[in-house]
Structure formats: C-alpha cells, structure tokens
Amino acid sequence: MKKEVLINEEDRILQTEYSEEMSRSFIDYAMSVIVARALPDVRDGLKPVQRRVLFDMNELGMHYDKDFRKSARIVGDTMGKYHPHGDSSIYEALVVMTQDFKKGIPLVDGHGNFGTVEGDGAAAMRYTEARLEKITEVGLLTDLDKDVVDFQPNFDETLKEPTVLPARFPNLLINGSEGIAVGMATNIPPHNFTEVIDACRAYIKNNDITTEELMEYVKGPDFPTGGIIVNKSELLNIYETGTGKIKVRGKVEIENAKGGKINVVVTEIPYTMIGANIGKFLNDVATLIDQKKTTDVIDITNQSSKDGIRIVFELRKDANPDNFINLLYKKTRLEDTFGFNMLAISDGRPETLSLKRVIEENVKFQYEINTRKYNKLLEKELEKKEIQEGLIRAVNIIDLIIEILRGSKDRAMAKACMTEGKTDGIKFKSKESKIMAATLDFTEKQANAILDMRLYKLIGLELNALFDENEETIANIARYQDILSNKDSMSDVIIEEMEALKAEFSHARRTPIIDAEEIVLEEKKPEAIDVVFLCDRFGYAKSVDTTTYERNKDAADSENKYVINTRSDGRICFFTDLGNMHMIKMSTVPFGKFRDKGKPIDNLCAFDSKEERVLLMMNPDDAKFKELVFVTEGSMMKIVDGAEFDVNKRLVQATKLNDKDKLVSVHLLNQEKNIVLRTENNVFLRFGVDEIPEKKKGAVGVRGMKLAAGDLVKDVYFTNNSGDNIITVNDKPFDLHQRVKPGHRDTKGTKIRG
C-alpha cells in the first residue's frame, strides 16, 4: 500500500510495503530480460543484440560485396551506439550468426576462426573479420529507408535504431533460436528454407489452413548437422502446441576395412551434440569399453574436419556391427532429445506459438511492411507526377515562362507569378503575355522544379524522355494503388518476393524424418567375478577385482573403513542410526582402478539426510550373516535373525525405535559370549549375550541397562571370556574383563572414574 508524504513542494517521500516494492521491481527486471535481452521477436526472429549487430553492420557499409572488416570494429561500434551491455555478448552473437553448423542460413559472412562443430571457440575479435551475407541484406535489411518499420531512440537518445528488422521470410523458423530468460526459455530448431517459404505461400492463399496441412510443406526441423529425426508421428502435436521433444539420431555407416575388420563410422551427429558434447560422446564410449559393456572395439579415431564429421570405430572381425550401433544409440548421446519450445515475443509479450501462429505473424508482418513501403513509394510517385506534369505544362508555354523569368526582378517574383498569377512588377513584351501569366496556377513544387530546370531539358530527346517518364510514373501509381487497395495484388507481391528469395537461397533438406522403432539392445550380462567392496571414511564407495586388492592390500585396509569381499553381481547392506537398512547392488557401484575416487554411498541408495552414522556395512550373502544384535542409545536391545534382511528392497526399516531414540550399535554375532554397554557418563555393564532375547525386526526390544537421568548408551563391546579386551578410558588402557564385573541385563552397572 503506497502513501505519499509531502515534505515541501519539491521533495516527496513515497512510503510503500517492502515486499510489494521487491515484487514489482523483480517483475520489471524479469520482463526487461525477457523482452529486451533473451527472447527473439516472432517477426524477424532476432534477439535485440542480434538485431543491433546486423543494423550496425549495415550502417557501417559492411555489405556482402564489400571487403571484410575487423570484428572488433563491429563489436565496438555496436556497443558504443546501440548495445551497452559488454563486448562479450555482442561478439558471441556475431559468432553464432556466422556458424553454418548452428544456423540454417548464416546471416553473417565470417573470415577467420569462428569456432568449430567440435566445440573449439572462436578466435579473439581482434583477429576475425566479418561482413553481411547477401540473404541478410536482401531478406532482413532491405527497404529500411522506406519507413517500413518503427525506429526508437538508442540508450542515450542520440541515435535511432529499428524496433524490428523488415524480415522478408520467417527467420525465427529458418534459423531457430535459443535463450534463457527469467523463469522461461526458448529452444527453436532450424528449418528448411524452401519448406518454410512454401508454407508461407500456402497460408497466404488460404488463411484457414491447418497446422496439419502446413506440415505437408514444413516436414519438421532441418538441422544443419544432419542426423535423422525418428519420431515423425509426434511432430504434429509438437507443432500444434509449440512444445515437445524431438528424438534425433546421428547417421552411421558400416564400412569394410583391411584384414576383414569392420568400421562403424559416424558421419552426422544430432544437433544437440554440437560443441563439447562430441568429446563427451567419445568419453562415454570409452567408459562403455572400460565397463565391459562391449568388447568389440579395437580402436577409436576422430577424423572429423572442416569437411564434416567422421568418427571411426574399428571393430573385431567377428563383431556384430548392428548391435554395436544399437549400443551407441541406447547408451550415448548419438540418439538424443531436442527440447522443442517455440517461445517468442509476440505483440510485446512472450508467448508459446504453434507453427501456424509463427507463419501467421510473419505473413501479417509482411503485409504491414509492404503497406508502409508502397504508401511511401506511392507518395514519391505522386510527387514525381506533380512535378512532371508541371514541367510538361511549362514546356508547352516555354516562351511565356522565359518572358516571366526575364521580366522578374528576383526568384520570388517569378515564383509568385507562376503559382498565384501575380504580374505586378514583371515586364512583359505584350499585353497578351501578361493576361496569360495572370492565369498561371502551378503548385509550389512545380514552380520550384520549373525554376530549377536546365535549358538542355528543352532538347527534343530530353522532352521525349520526360513524356516517357511521366507515363511510367502514371503506371507505377496505378500499380501501387492497386497493391494497396487490392489484397490479392498485395499477396502476389509478397509471394513473388518470397519466391525470388527461395530461388536464390534454397537448399536441399539435410535431416530425414521417419518413424523408427525403439532401439532394442541385446546386452550380454558380464560374467560375475569376485570383487572387493571398498568404502572410505568419507563415504565414497567403489569396487576392485581381487587381484588389484591383493596388490594394494595394506593401503586398502588402512585407507578404507569398510573392506568387504563379495561378487560383482552381489549386494552390500548397511545399517544407520535411524534404524534403516539400505541395500546396494554391486552393479551400481563403480568398478575400476584402486586409485579411483568412487561414488558417495548416498548416491547409490535411498539415503536420508537425517541419517548421521553408518553402524555396520556387510555382505548379506555371507554365510556368517545369521544373527544381528541391535542396541539403541536408550539401552533397548534385541537379537534379530539375519534371514529377515534377505530382501531386494533398497530401503528396509531394520528395527522399531522409541521416540527420539537412535541406534548406537548393530553387530553381527560371531560366537561372542559377553556384551559390554558403556554410557556417556562412563557407566559400564557386562552380561552374557544369552540374556538378550531374539525378536522380530519390527519389535522395539528389551531394556539392557537401567540408565541414570540424562545418560545414554555411548559404546557397545562384544568379548569372549579370554583374549585381548583392552579399550581406552580417560586416555588410559582399560581391561573390560578385569575392571567390569559380570552382571545381569536390566541392572544399573558400575561407574568407572579412571
């Protein structure tokens, strides 16, 4: 709620709720990012930074038929005049508009290193050069001088810039766009130039055309990297809603190599693999080989160049190449999903658009800019007609005109005579001439043209040219008036312009579209082997083969908290202080080298962030897994048969706990005779294990020790009647058998003072 406090006539303090002001300010900021930075305009398919770069290049005269100019010049000029948001964003926009592997039709012609499809970055702007592409000049920047679009002040109001470029084709579809705004993002793939132009023509001829009918022309995305779209049947819904997922596969060929070997060659990649993802793809394949998912690969070579992608996998003689290709599609990004989201600025606000809406908005824009263009041309032709008619009339009475000019004292007197018939002060040769001069009524423009006319225009050929020019002007006026008054004529003009662009800039489709069956991968289950599970004190788990463990036994035992023998197809279970048992399949545990870091155990199971301690980790398939002793902080205890935990669930409640109680010990019983409980106040109680009853895992158990108020069980020890039973109490050795006398369960125990 706002309240204005008047201090004096000049100063005002506006009091408002802080939350309201923050909300309003954030919304303003968000809309500024959405509209003025991150999202393209549906009319020209450009973000503001791209539009400013192209407009500035046009202003600098960097035309397609002129010499290249340094990119740094473009960036600096754009930043200084139109886009004061840093040079990196401007140069990045310039670079992307040159990359033929990202854009359906590049808008900027780059000279130098502007990056590669494999993720190499562009050279610094001081090294590269650029100029406009021809398609940009004739399709996006033409007719700017004919008042076809609105201009607005630049950031410091010293210059004017266009609010939108007069795009002659749906650039949003042809080149696509990607951008992340505040709370929304756009991701539009490139499309085929020819198909989009044909769809626009079809819409102009029939505004009631459906999206399905438009897709007879626009088959789907046409990625510059090629690939294959494999979910054709889903495209109609995607283009009707403006959102969806498009499945793209790389193109793979099988070649016979020397020695009877087989090469699987990736010749085209999914659009989503542009950049560093090619390196990730190769790493993923290497990981599959390391994990023994395939044993068919002998060698991998990346022979890609500026001429195209060529990644070669050399396979063994007896390998099944089809199965290996399926493995690539299933386990790597060679088959990937493109998240289609056709979000753009329409009428000043962000909107998710269908295919028909994008074409409709662009065609509507075409009518708008052509209406403004032909109104401007008509205005100029009418002006020319007015002047031409004045000159023709003057030629017919040229003797009178000369007499007026010779008899006038100055230009103003002669002009007044020709426009208003004023003859005062002008010397005429005869009375008839004065009478004729008084009837003259040339317009202001006609009079100026007559006064500026040179004498050579009176030559016969020049007069004929004037008459011919006048006839041409009259024909142009009739044509322009017909275009402006007749929608069919305007439609023909728009179609003609689009067809001319298509004839010059069209190209064949690069990405075939099919409905492919889901990849079925026949994976060979790896042979189960003996492994050693290792988990360090930080909770990072891994497994190594037994040979590796034996070779590094001392280091493995000293560096890891848990070292457990198991099988590669086995399981590991562990118990936590909240009374849960987690089960981990060894197939999910990273297998590799001894010095590999491993993976956090909380990423391998349904670990709760409230669980603070792992009390026991073991192999549930171990023959020793028979009886478990549970002890809580509140001194509740029980023995549970290990068979109750022989389950395949990831999470099991191992015991029932009283409110605010926690497990302090879970112990695998192995013929120990005695149990010793130790509290936080150093109260000890020793009694026989046979006094602990066996119960189900869902039971709370029985009390093991009577605790003083505020005291809790801290440690639990298991001993035999002989052997080493030494622990540390108050930094001194403490013999559990000598210092703690045998007692019975559910008694108070003995206080040890040191």
CA atoms within 13 A on the CB side of 581: 27
For the CA atoms of 536, 538, 539, 541, the dihedral, rounded to the nearest 10 degrees, stands at -40
Phi, psi dihedral angles at 128 (to 5 degrees): -90, 160
Q: At 176, which amino acid appears?
A: G
Q: How far is residue 410's CA from residue 426's CA, in Å, rounded to a whole number?
A: 10
Q: At 346, which amino acid appears?
A: S
Q: How far is CA 153 from CA 150, 185, 305, in A?
A: 10, 28, 45
Q: How far is residue 169's CA from residue 201's CA, in Å, rounded to a whole number?
A: 11
Q: Tell which residue, 152, 125, 90, 334, has the closest CA to residue 230.
A: 334
Q: How far is residue 415's CA from residue 444's CA, in Å, rounded to a whole number?
A: 8
The alpha carbon dihedral of 345, 346, 349, 351 has a sign of: negative
Q: Which residue stretches of 426-486 are H helix?
A: 431-437, 444-452, 460-485
Q: How is residue 176 written in tokens?
A: 């696509």
Q: How far is residue 420's CA from residue 207's CA, in Å, rounded to a whole number?
A: 53
- Residue 298 is given by DSSP the state E
Catalytic residues: 127
Q: What is the 3-state secondary structure (H, E, C) of 571-627?
A: EEEEEECCCEEEEEEHHHCCECCCCCCCEEHHHCCCCCCCCCCEEEEECCCCCCCCE
Q: How far is residue 579's CA from residue 569's CA, in Å, rounded to a whole number?
A: 26
- Residue 275 is given by DSSP the state T
Q: Tell which residue, 510, 506, 591, 608, has the closest CA to residue 543.
A: 591
Q: How far is residue 197's CA from residue 496's CA, in Å, rounded to a whole number?
A: 11
Collect all residues with Cβ–Cβ distance below 8 Å to 548 and sequence separation of at least 6.
532, 593, 594
Terminus-to-terminus CA distance in the chain, angstroms? Answer: 69
Cα 49 → chain centroid: 17
Other CB atoms closer than 10 Å to residue 673's CB: what's the count? Answer: 12
Q: Tell which residue, 720, 568, 573, has the closest CA to residue 642.
A: 573
Strand partners, 4: 14
CA atoms within 13 A on the CB side of 264: 25
- Residue 260 is given by DSSP the state G
Order across the sheet with 571-576: list the strands: 614-618, 571-576, 580-585, 651-653
Q: How far is residue 625's CA from residue 669's CA, in Å, rounded to a whole number?
A: 8
